[in-house]
A and B are shown apart, each in its own frame.
Chain A
Amino acid sequence: MSYSELYSDLVEMPGALLPIFHRIQERLGYVPQEALPEIAKALNLSRAEVHGVMTFYHDFRSEPAGRTVVKICRAEACQAMGANALVAHAEACLHTPLNSTSADGSATLEAMYCLGNCALAPAVMINGDLKGRVTPARFDALVAAAGKAVPA
Chain B
Amino acid sequence: MIRVYVPRDSAALSVGADDVAAAITVQAQQRGLAVELVRNGSRGLLWLETLVEVTTPAGRVAYGPVYPEDVESLFEADFLHGGAHALGHGLTDQIPYLARQERLTFARCGITDPLSLDDYLAHDGYRGLRNALAMDAAAIVQQVTDSGLRGRGGAAFPTGIKWKTVLGAQAAQKYIVCNADEGDSGTFADRMIMEDDPFTLIEGMTIAGVAVGATIGYIYLRSEYPYAFDVLNQAIAIANQHQWLGENIQGSGKTFHLEVRLGAGAYICGEETALLESLEGKRGIVRYKPPIPALKGLFGLPTIVNNTISFASVPIIMDKGGEFYRNYGMGRSRGTLPFQLAGNLKQGGLVEKAFGLTLRELIYDFGGGTASGRPVRAIQVGGPLGAYVPASQFDTPLDYEAYVGISAMIGHGGIVVFDDTVDMAQMARYAMEFCAIESCGKCTPCRVGSTRGVEVVDRIIANQDRAANLALLRSLCDTMLNGSLCAMGGMAPYPVLSALNHFPEDFGIEAGELAA
Measured CB to CB, the residues of A under 8 A from B are 14-19, 21-22, 43, 49, 52-53, 56-60, 75-81, 112-121, 123, 125, 128-133
Q: Which residues of B contact A16 (CB under 8 A)?
A: 281
Q: Which residues of B contact A81 (CB under 8 A)?
A: 343-344, 371
Q: Which residues of B contact A14 (CB under 8 A)?
A: 280-281, 299
Cβ of B349 under 8 Å from chain A = yes
> Closest approach, in angstroms, between the C-beta of A25 and any C-beta of chain B?
9
Task: Mark the stretch among B108-116, B148-156, B415-423 that contacts chain A.
Answer: B415-423
Instruction: Report Cα–Cα, A137/B287, bound state, in Å.
Output: 46
Cβ of B183 under 8 Å from chain A = yes
Given A75-B185, A79-B430, A128-B226, are A119 and B417 neighbors across the interface (CB < 8 Å)?
no
Please state if A18 and B185 are interface contacts (CB–CB under 8 Å): no
Q: Which residues of A contact B14 (CB under 8 A)?
A: 117, 120, 123, 129-133
Cβ of B120 under 8 Å from chain A = no
Q: Which residues of B contact A79 (CB under 8 A)?
A: 427, 430
Cβ of B38 under 8 Å from chain A = no
- Measured CB to CB, the nearest residue on chain B to A19 is B261
Interface size on B, residues (CB 8 A): 61
Instruction: Report Cα–Cα, A118/B266, bound state, in Å.
Output: 19
Q: Which residues of B contact A113 (CB under 8 A)?
A: 183, 185, 267, 384, 434, 437-438
Instruction: Report Cα–Cα, A59/B265, bound state, in Å.
Output: 5
Cβ of B105 under 8 Å from chain A = no
* Cβ contacts B252-264/A at 8 Å (1 or 0 each): 0000000001111
- Between A and B, how many residue pairs show CB distances below 8 Å? 155
> Closest approach, in angstroms, between the C-beta of A128 and any C-beta of chain B?
6
The residue from B49, B188, B264, B418 contacting A118, defined by CB atoms under 8 A apart? B188
The 3 closest A-B pairs by CB, nearest first: A119-B348, A75-B185, A118-B342
List 20 extra interface pairs beyond A22-B262, A56-B284, A117-B10, CB under 8 A: A14-B280, A14-B299, A15-B279, A43-B281, A52-B283, A57-B265, A58-B265, A76-B185, A76-B416, A79-B427, A80-B418, A113-B183, A116-B10, A116-B188, A118-B187, A119-B47, A119-B342, A120-B348, A121-B348, A133-B14
Q: Which of B390-425 contact A (CB under 8 A)?
A: 414, 416-419, 422
Please state if B282 and A119 are interface contacts (CB–CB under 8 Å): no
Q: Which residues of B contact A18 (CB under 8 A)?
A: 261-264, 278, 281
Please state if B384 and A75 are interface contacts (CB–CB under 8 Å): yes
The residue from B226, B261, B434, B438 contacting A15, defined by CB atoms under 8 A apart? B261
Measured CB to CB, the residues of B under 8 A from A are 10-11, 13-15, 46-47, 49, 182-188, 190-191, 223-227, 261-267, 278-285, 299, 340-345, 348-350, 371, 380, 384, 414, 416-419, 422, 427, 430, 434, 437-438
Please state if B416 and A77 are interface contacts (CB–CB under 8 Å): yes
Given A18-B262, A81-B343, A120-B46, are A53 and B15 neighbors across the interface (CB < 8 Å)?
no
Please state if A116 and B384 are interface contacts (CB–CB under 8 Å): no
B224, B266, B284, B341 pick with most chain A CB within 10 angstroms: B224
Please state if A59 and B185 are interface contacts (CB–CB under 8 Å): no
Given A18-B278, A79-B430, A112-B224, are A121 and B262 neighbors across the interface (CB < 8 Å)?
no
Q: Which residues of B contact A53 (CB under 8 A)?
A: 281-283
The residue from B49, B261, B278, B384 contacting A76, defined by CB atoms under 8 A apart? B384
- Measured CB to CB, the nearest residue on chain A to B299 is A14
Instruction: Report Cα–Cα, A35/B281, bound state, in Å.
Output: 16
Q: Which residues of B contact A21 (CB under 8 A)?
A: 264
- Measured CB to CB, the nearest residue on chain B to A52 is B283
A49, A56, A79 pick with most chain B CB within 10 angstroms: A56
Q: Which residues of A contact B283 (CB under 8 A)?
A: 52-53, 56-57
